[in-house]
Amino acid sequence: MSFSGKTKEELARIETGKNCCQLAELAALIRMDGTLQISANHRVALNVESESAPVARKLFKLAKLRLKVPVEIAVRRKLRLKKHNSYLVRVQANNDLLQELGLVGRDLQIRPGIKPELIRRQCCRRAYLRGAFLGGGSINNPEGTYHLEIITNDETHATELCKLLNSFQLGGKISPRKNWFVVYLKESEHIAELLTIIGAHAALLEFENVRVLKDMRNQVNRLVNCETANLNKTVDAAVRQVENIRVIEEQIGLDKLNEPLRRIAELRLEHPEVSLKELGELLVPKVGKSGVNHRMRKIEDLASRFQKSLREG
């Protein structure tokens, strides 16, 4: 099962205690996945379809507990593509119920966005976000890129959902995608905080474990890359210094150099693999890295003059 699927399964098992929170979570689920059906005899039903058995069970249970109206659930086998089961929860509705869920206004016209009364309390805001994620959310496996999104077909609902996320300082953003609107989070800290807010504690632990391992692996890689770069620089500099010393040796001999330059040149030939700092520690008395570097620059200048004379001659 995917990380997103496991997260939804965990959330679907949460017992929503307060009546206000039950209504908020149920309203979000229906808003995300529900459709209105009006029969020939003007009877109204809410149909909510899901491919997740735990989500369908949660929806059925909340509807039975909170709405006190007939609720049915049916299982349908899809014949195309992945051939997964599809679960249809049908709720017999009336005008009062539709208004209570925030689906229509007092004028019985379809109401966009989130009914303010549903998210008046902090606990209800958490429940609404949980329902919205269960109905239309997904989260990437943290082994890959960090990304959590909730998809809705209502721009007003997307805007208010994003505003609700940001009431918890989560940095939510909206992106249109064909006929849909995607409310998303990309920062790992914000995703972890949302998992805490909606009660996905087991998913949060797995997310944080993976995040710590990734951060540690990235830090080790950065250190290794830095060490490798420094080693390459040391090797390249040593090769160039040896070449300069060989030029001087061929042209005038190292014995013609003054004592400090001669000694550092001989040490470099004897120890081509060591750094400037290590080279300075081999001298008697010891010389610091800057002192060794100063002598190497003098040797390089002298070798450059000899090479220039050879080219011109």
Q: What are the CA-CA distances from residue 87 to residues 30, 78, 134, 200 (Å)?
A: 14, 10, 14, 23
CA-nearest of 133, 135, 127 to 52 is 135
What pLDDT digit, counting tens, does each position of 111-125 carry? Answer: 888 999 999 999 999
More confident residue, 207 or 93: 207
Mean pLDDT across the stretch 68-75?
86
* Domain CATH code at residue 86: 3.10.28.10
Summarize pLDDT for 44-57 with one digit per residue, the tens: 888 888 888 889 99
Over residues 5-22, mean pLDDT? 91
Asked if the structure places residue 206 within a domain, the reply is no
Q: Is the distance from CB of 70 to CB of 56 less than 8 angstroms?
A: no
For the record, the structure tokens of 145 come out as: 């890129």
Query: Cβ neighbours of residue 294 under 8 Å, at least 6 residues apart?
Result: none
Q: What is the pLDDT of residues 157-173, one digit of tens each?
A: 999 999 999 999 999 99
The domain boundary, picked from 167, 199, 231, lies at: 199
Last residue of a domain, one of 133, 164, 199: 199
Confidence of residue 1 (pLDDT cuts 50, 70, 90): confident
For the entire predicted model, the pTM comes to 0.72
Give the pLDDT band (50/70/90) at residue 275. Answer: confident
- Mean per-residue pLDDT, 98-117: 85
Full strand arrangement of the beta sheet holding 173-177: 137-139, 148-152, 180-185, 173-177
- Residue range(s) defining the domain that contains residue 112: 3-199
Specify the pLDDT at position 123: 93
Query: 108 and 234: one domain?
Result: no
Answer whether residue 37 shows pLDDT above 90.
no
Q: Is the pLDDT of residue 81 over 60?
A: no
Count structural domains, the chain: 2
pLDDT, residue 87, reads: 87
How confident is the model at residue 69, as a pLDDT? 85
Q: How far is 222 from 200, CA to CA, in rounded Å?
A: 32
State residue 8's pLDDT score.
Answer: 92
Same domain for 73 and 190? yes
Is 209 inside a domain boundary? no
- When pLDDT is averaged across residues 104-109 and rounded to a whole number, the result is 80
Q: Of 31-35, 187-191, 261-265, 309-313, where does mean pLDDT reach its minimum? A: 309-313
Q: Domain end: 133, 165, 199, which one?
A: 199
Residue 208 domain-assigned (yes or no) = no
Q: Assess whether pLDDT exceeds 90 at residue 40.
A: no
pLDDT number for residue 83:
60
Do residues 119 and 231 both lie within one domain?
no
